[in-house]
Amino acid sequence: MAHRTVITCALTGSFDTPRKNPAVPVSPKAIAASAIEAAAAGAAIVHIHVRDPETGTPSMELAHYREVVERVRERDEAVILNLTTGAGGRFVPGEADPSSAGPGTTYVSPEARTRHVGALRPEICTLDIATMNFGEHLFLNTPAHLRAMAGAIRAAGVKPEIEGFDLGHIELARHLIAEGHLARPPLFQLCLGIPWGAPATAETLVAMRARLPEDAVWSAFGIGRMEFPILAVAAGMGGHVRVGLEDNLYLSRGRLAPSNAALVEKAVSLLAHLDRDPATPDEARAILGLAPRGRDAAPRP
């Protein structure tokens, strides 16, 4: 496995990107189809948000998640599903009363943010260890809420992918691991370039990697034009990688990506120049410490 790199493809995200690139999938059917194409191109993991199919806005509807999961599993039993729990963490202070939620707020309870994980039991789900300015809104994940979410994720038999957007987030994750709320070995995703988190530079990635627990399995990504430069640095450091239309809308300068699969294909090509091969889903399970398919795995919905 020394030369195997796990590729995650983040399919759609939650920002207003479909109007900027029509390839961003919106409906459950389109998201599932994009997941299957990305897997065929070399992604071992597909990271899934859902959207309202009528408006394209972010959604937390269990029915949308269920449809995506079922559609993917109808055609691909191997690819690893990674459902987001980041939805429901956005807070926009009201203009008249900043202590009250203003337009654009999605902030809900830990139970609401993990309901789909308990119902669908993917192999992986994200856990954002981050309270920060996220662009123009606040992204809130208090330690108490993180403990509650970690407990719900563990009860579902799902492995959390710990998403860190800055050095302090890694320190909080280490604290939660020490408390026993997050199991070892942990899986980290280092998220670079999001305003206003850690910048997408090689120096930042090296600093964040140095603060991870010694037994951590880790991946990293940069957004926008830094998607592929960070991929090269992360893979060269022995980490795993993530690409996808959630993070970057372009295949190259001035050229919109025609699909998630095209971004995965470019990732596979770049990894080949570093003498690294994309891990298959079953190889990724071994690398990440997930149960082998067909043995001790969570039942499919």
C-alpha to C-alpha distance for 121 and 115, rounded to whole angstroms: 10
Identify the domain containing residue 83 by its residue range: 4-288
Residue 298: pLDDT over 90: no
C-alpha to C-alpha distance for 34 and 44, rounded to whole angstroms: 13
Q: Under DSSP, is residue 102 helix (H, G, I), strand (E, B) or coil?
A: coil
CB 282 within 8 A of CB 293: yes
Residue 59's φ and ψ, nearest 5 degrees, are: -135, 155
> Would you say residue 297 lies in a domain?
no
pLDDT tens-digit readout, 70-95: 999 999 999 999 999 999 999 999 99
CB 181 within 8 A of CB 147: yes
CATH number of the domain encompassing residue 115:
3.20.20.70
> Would you say residue 206 lies in a domain?
yes
CA count, 13 A, side-chain hemisphere, 116:
26
> Would you say residue 145 lies in a domain?
yes
Give the Cβ contact number of residue 174 at 10 Å.
18
Give the Cβ contact number of residue 10 at 10 Å.
27
pLDDT tens-digit readout, 11-31: 999 999 999 999 999 999 999
C-alpha to C-alpha distance for 79 and 200, rounded to whole angstroms: 28
pLDDT of the residue at 293: 85
Position 301 confidence tier, pLDDT thresholds 50, 70, 90? very low
Cα 171–chain centre separation: 20
pLDDT of the residue at 300: 35
> Would you say residue 299 lies in a domain?
no
Residue 299: pLDDT over 50: no
Counted domains in the chain? 1
CB 10 within 8 A of CB 227: no
Partners of 215 in the beta sheet?
A: none
pLDDT of the residue at 3: 87
CB 177 within 8 A of CB 170: no
What CA–CA distances, in Å, run from 102 to 13, 16, 91, 94, 133?
A: 22, 18, 8, 4, 15
C-alpha to C-alpha distance for 75 and 73, rounded to whole angstroms: 5
> Would you say residue 174 lies in a domain?
yes
pTM of the model: 0.95
The three-state DSSP-derived secondary structure of 29-53 is: HHHHHHHHHHHHHCCCEEEECEECC
End-to-end C-alpha distance for the chain, whole angstroms: 31
CB 44 within 8 A of CB 284: yes
pLDDT of the residue at 296: 46
C-alpha to C-alpha distance for 179 and 46, rounded to whole angstroms: 30
What is the pLDDT averaged over residues 222-248? 98
> Would you say residue 95 lies in a domain?
yes
Instruction: Return all residues near 71 (Cβ < 8 A) that are at least 6 apart.
Output: 28, 29, 32, 33
